[in-house]
Amino acid sequence: MKIERRVISVIVQNEHSVLARITSLFAARGYNIETLTVAPIPESNMSRLTIETRGNVRVIEQIIKQLHKLIPTYKVIEHEEMVEKEMVLMKFPINESLANIQALCEAYNGGIANVSSQHIITMVADEPKRVKHFIEAAQRFHPVEIVRGGVVAMERE
Amino acid sequence: MEMTGAQMVIEAMKLEGVDTVFGYPGGAIMNVYDEIYKQNDFRHILTRHEQAAVHAADGYARATGKVGVAFVTSGPGFTNAVTGLATAYMDSVPMVVISGQVPITMIGTDAFQEIDATGISRSCTKHNYLVRSAKELPLILKEAFYIASSGRPGPVHVDIPKDVTAELATFEYPTHVDLPTYRPTTKGNVRQIKKAAEAICNAKRPVFYLGGGVISSGSADLVREFVQTTQIPAVETLMARGALRHDDPLLLGMVGMHGSYQANMAMSEADLMIALGPRFDDRVTGKLSEFAKHAKVIHVDIDPSSIGKLVDVDYPIVGDLKEVLEVMMPKVKECVDPDRFQAWRNILKRYNEIHPMQFEDSDKVIKPQWVIKRVGEILGERAVVSTDVGQHQMWTAQFYPFSYPRQLVTSGGLGTMGFGFPAAMGVKRGMPDKVSINFTGDGSILMNIQELVTAVEARLPVVNIILNNHYLGMVRQWQTFFYDKRYAETDLSFQPDFVRLAEACGGVGYRVETKEDFDEALEDAVNKGVVAMIDVIVDREENVLPMVPSGGTLYNMMLEYKD
């Protein structure tokens, strides 16, 4: 069976060790987590997790059912038609060309976030595939540190 | 009303109608035990090991259908209970286990007898709680009982820090539970049910595949009616033994690794499998790609994650089996022609004539299967039968004449040696009018042997029947078949005198080497009314057959073993 990439959102009750329940489910059943983001949903007692995972159709189906089975899980959304974004921070040495770095970032929906005496820090937020391209393109400026934020997604409709 | 956390625990037991708690005290749970001392609403049975407390609660739950309850202390008390939780989890047994924990103020400091209990139990319970304050306790306890017994049942673990059991708060016990995040689907999809009913009527070679869900959902009566009206043959998993009567001509026997030839052939040749509450365990299916490969599959289960987990399903129906059958049966009755399956039934009958489920008896040694058959003849429906794990477990499943649901109590999923004896104590407590038999092996019995003391003290006269072959028999059998008889660490020739061991604890013991002695010993043991140990010396080299070797196919069984 073909291995595919999937983005799943899970809405859970905001309670003690709920994140541990989810991650230990993935660990115990041998599922992959590529990226994971978590934050509380404003004005509710719920949190939203976005999980980027990989697996064949049967595995993905099981992941969704097993997530559902957890008692604090309110909803599991298997994204089909979605807007997805990922943020990345990158740090470059100050001797690299600020103008070139800025131009590259702007091409990817970002810009310069901070400049200190030692480093330039950039921020880009774009589709995960484009973020990957950005990271590749930025290699020629000799980045010293890369922080990826993980995928967040929202259904179009 | 204001009360301490410990008092709340006792009140909740009362309100949940708990009549028995199995447990073992310790530092972190002392406040709760102090309240147990002061009350008369339920009986506390002191086991001699926490593992046994949880197995006893499990046996009680399996035999009665009620929620089993066990109390243990923090740290080692809890870790000893983990095997019990995992056993119940794998077999979907409703249970609430309450553990003490070090005070909240000391959590995370590696305090004396501190362990991250909820961290450990997370993967072997249906749900768990670490209680943060006494005011949360009533709701948590209510939810614990509700979650344990609803949907697909399972054990729930509640970890209560010592300061919470001393803390005062208002006690208002909720009358019902409303969890927006937990709403098991009980009604099956009617369109799907209708399609499944049509498939049944149009099948040529249908077979019922009955799983533990038939027992836990209380649908055995409906299933019997369903089988009767359709005249469709049925196979049972280990967990479904007793769903149909042993003498029902439509019952093909147990399916799987040590199932009957006709049951496994029925699965292999069926064109429609009607799976009611099983979970397609590897011990049932053998090699998945060859499992029932000619069959369309109807699968009814309360747990959506069971459906399609291992086998593609043509008619998935999520719901409570009882509710689904109540809708499905009338639809099937409208269109079904029982005569249509006559040719199919004849084929299966022929299979059974060629290779019936039998054993070769002997005059020289006692065959283990004979013992089980004999107990069946003598006690039959009077006994609820528990087992440990190994050869004796499979022989019990093959040869005991089960007549009603919950008559067999056995650790199927986890396969826990040491389960049988404490579970049989729980059975006796829950079903005092039945004879509580535990078929066990000379390996398994030693894994919770300390419970002899509990059984004597608490007056739970379990009859343990050791099928003693001086081997760790099932492993020895695999070594014989697949490891060229290299019997690595399976020879248990050095063993205690089981008769004197039983007597030392205040029970009775019998050593049996002839068939005549067995009948006498059994009669005496049942009448004595005290825990008994019948040590039956059986044929050492007997194997459990037929057998589907691990990863083999159901239609290719090993029917005999030639040395």
Residues of A with CB below 8 A from B180's CB? 74
Whether the CB-CB separation of A34 and A55 falls below 8 Å is answered with: no
Give yes or no for a cis peptide into B546 (omega within 30° of 0). yes
Residue B468 has pLDDT above 90, yes or no: yes
pLDDT score recorded for residue B206: 98
Residues of chain B above pLDDT 90, percent? 99
Q: What is the pLDDT of residues B290-345, one digit of tens each?
A: 999 999 999 999 999 999 999 999 999 999 999 999 999 999 999 999 999 999 99
Q: Residue B297: what pLDDT?
A: 98
Does pLDDT of A157 surpass 90?
no
Q: Which amino acid is at B263?
A: A
Distance CA B54, CA B529 (A): 24
φ, ψ of residue B518 to 5 degrees: the values are -65, -50
- C-alpha B494: how far from its chain's center? 30
Q: Beta-carbon neighbour count of residue B322 at 10 Å?
A: 18
CA angle centred on B92, ends B89 and B93, rounded to 5°: 90
Q: What does chain A come to in residues?
A: 157
The partner residue sitting opposite A24, judged by closest CB among B123, B132, B181, is: B123
Q: Which residues of A touch B122 (CB under 8 A)?
A: 17, 20-21, 24
C-beta neighbour count of B41 within 10 angstroms: 13
Q: Is A21 on the interface with B (CB under 8 A)?
A: yes
What residues of B are in the A interface, CB distance below 8 Å? Answer: 118-119, 122-123, 126-127, 130, 132, 147, 179-182, 303-305, 308-309
Cα–Cα distance measured from residue B461 to residue A5, given in angstroms and rounded to the nearest whole number: 58
Asked whether B438 and B421 are in contact (CB, 8 A), the reply is yes
Catalytic residue numbers of B? 50, 112-113, 162, 474
For residue A121, which of A109, A111, A135 has the smallest C-alpha distance? A111
**Dihedral over Cα of B312, B317, B321, B324: its sign:** negative
Residues of chain A neighbouring B308 (CB-CB closer than 8 A): 58, 61
DSSP codes, B200-215: HHH-SSEEEEE-HHHH
Residue B563 has pLDDT above 90, yes or no: no
Could you read off the pLDDT of B133-165 as tens digits, one per residue?
A: 999 999 999 999 999 999 999 999 999 999 999
* Cα–Cα distance, B161 to B166 (Å, whole number): 9
Exposure string of B219-257, with b = 16+ CB inside 10 Å and e = fewer, is bbebbbebbeebbbbbbbbbbbbbbbbbeeebbbbbbbb
CB-based contact B304 A12, cutoff 8 Å: no
Q: Specify burial of residue B409 (Cβ count, 10 A radius: 0-12, 13-18, 19+).
A: buried
* Closest CA relative to residue B472, chosen from B364, B371, B395, B389: B389
**Which of A11, A21, A65 is the best mutation test for B, with the most CBs of B within 10 A?**
A65
Place of tokens 């005999």: B560
Q: Output the furthest CA–CA distance in chain A (Å, rounded).
A: 53
Interchain contact, A71 vs B179, CB within 8 Å: yes
Contact A21 B130 (CB under 8 A): no
Question: How wide is the angle at C-alpha A42 spanned by C-alphas A38 and A48, nearest 5°?
Answer: 25
pLDDT one-digit tens code per residue, B177-187:
999 999 999 99
Sorted by where each begins, the domain ranges of chain B are 2-170, 190-354, 368-537
Gap from A57 CA to chain B (nearest CA, Å) = 11
Instruction: Tell me the CATH class for B368-537.
Output: alpha beta
- Place A24 in a pLDDT band, splitting at 50, 70 and 90: very high
Q: Which residue of A has its CA nearest to B156?
A: A71
Q: Is there a shared CATH topology between the B2-170 domain and the B368-537 domain?
A: yes
**Rounded to whole angstroms, how far apart are CA atoms B182 and B152?**
12
The CATH homologous superfamily to which domain B2-170 belongs is Thiamin diphosphate (ThDP)-binding fold, Pyr/PP domains (3.40.50.970)
φ, ψ of residue B508 in degrees (nearest 5): -115, 150
pLDDT of residue A1: 83
Mean pLDDT of B341-357: 98
How many Cβ contacts (< 8 angstroms) between chains A and B?
Answer: 37
For residue B235, give the 3-state DSSP assignment. Answer: strand
Go through chain B and tell me how many residues it has: 563
Name the residue of chain B whose CA is nearest to A26's CA: B123
Helix, strand, or coil (residue B83): helix
Whether B524 contacts B517, CB under 8 Å: no
Torsion sign across C-alpha atoms B1, B5, B7, B8 = positive
Least CB-CB distance to A21: which of B122, B180, B304? B122
CB contact under 8 A, B304 and A65: yes
Distance CA B177, CA B193 (A): 29
Please give the structure tokens belonging to residue B106. 């000391």
Structure tokens at B203: 């099948």
- Count of alpha carbons within 13 Å of A122, Cβ hemisphere only? 31
The span from the CA of A22 to the CA of B196, in Å, is 34
Q: What single-letter DSSP state applies at residue B188? A: P
* Residues in A 121-140 with any Cβ partner in B closer than 8 A: none
Neighbours of B147 (CB within 10 A): 25
Q: Which of residues 52-91 of A touch B (CB under 8 A)?
A: 58, 61-62, 65-66, 68-69, 71-74
- At residue B394, φ and ψ (nearest 5 deg) are -70, -40
The answer to whether residues B497 and B449 touch, using CB atoms and an 8 Å cutoff, is no
Does the model's pTM come out above 0.90?
Answer: yes
CA distance, residue B546 to nearest chain A CA (Å):
32
Q: Please answer whether residues A60 and A32 qualify as being in contact, where contact means their C-beta atoms are separated by less than 8 angstroms.
A: no
> What does pLDDT average to over chain B?
97
CA–CA distance, B252 with B162 (Å, rounded to integer)? 53
Domains and CATH numbers, chain A: 4-79 (3.30.70.260), 83-155 (3.30.70.1150)
Inter-chain residue contact B126 with A66, CB threshold 8 Å: no
Return the amino acid letter for A71: I
A36 min Cα distance to partner chain B (Å): 20
Confidence of residue A80 (pLDDT cuts 50, 70, 90): confident
> Per-residue confidence at A16, pLDDT binned at 50, 70, 90?
confident
A12 chain-B contacts, CB cut-off 8 A: 181
Neighbour tally for A74: CB within 10 Å = 19
ipTM score assigned to the predicted complex: 0.91
- Judged by DSSP in three states, A74 sits in strand
Across the interface, which of A20, A61, A73 has its CB nearest the CB of B308? A61
Contact, B52 vs B25, CB < 8 A? no
pLDDT (0 to 100) of residue B562: 82
Q: Looking at the complex, report in whole angstroms how far the Cα of residue B181 sits from the nearest Cα belonging to chain A.
A: 4
Q: Do A68 and B182 count as a contact with CB atoms less than 8 A apart?
A: no
Who among A17, A65, A71 is closest to B305 (CB)?
Answer: A65
What is the pLDDT at residue B103?
98
pLDDT at A155: 92
Given the candidates 3.40.50.300, 3.30.70.1450, 3.40.50.1220, 2.30.29.30, the CATH classification of the domain at B190-354 is 3.40.50.1220
Res. B1: pLDDT tops 90: no
For residue B242, what are the CA distances in angstroms to B37, B219, B548? 39, 12, 23
Q: What letter does residue B60 receive in the DSSP assignment?
A: H
Minimal Cβ distance to B309: which of A21, A62, A68: A62
Contact flag B147-A20 (C-beta cutoff 8 Å): no
What are the distances in angstroms from CA B331 to CA B194, B195, B229?
Answer: 7, 10, 12
- Determine whether the interchain pair B305/A73 forms a contact, defined as Cβ–Cβ distance below 8 Å: no
Across the beta sheet with A46-55, the strand order is A35-40, A46-55, A4-13, A73-78
pLDDT level of residue B464 (50, 70, 90 thresholds): very high
Q: Least CB-CB distance to B305: which of A28, A62, A72?
A: A62
Euclidean distance between the first and the last CA atom of chain A, given in angstroms as a whole number: 30
Select from B425, B429, B431, B373 the least CA-distant residue to B405. Answer: B431
| Residue B528 pLDDT | 96
pLDDT tens digits, residue range B414-451? 999 999 999 999 999 999 999 999 999 999 999 999 99
Record: contact B182-A71, CB cut-off 8 A: yes
Q: Residue B203 pLDDT > 90, yes or no?
A: yes
**Beta carbons of A16 and B132 less than 8 Å apart:** yes
Please tell me what DSSP assigns to residue B342.
H
Instruction: Name the residue in chain B with its Cα closest to that of A27.
Output: B123
Residue-level pLDDT at B469: 98
Across the interface, of B122, B127, B181, the residue whose CB is closest to A24 is B122
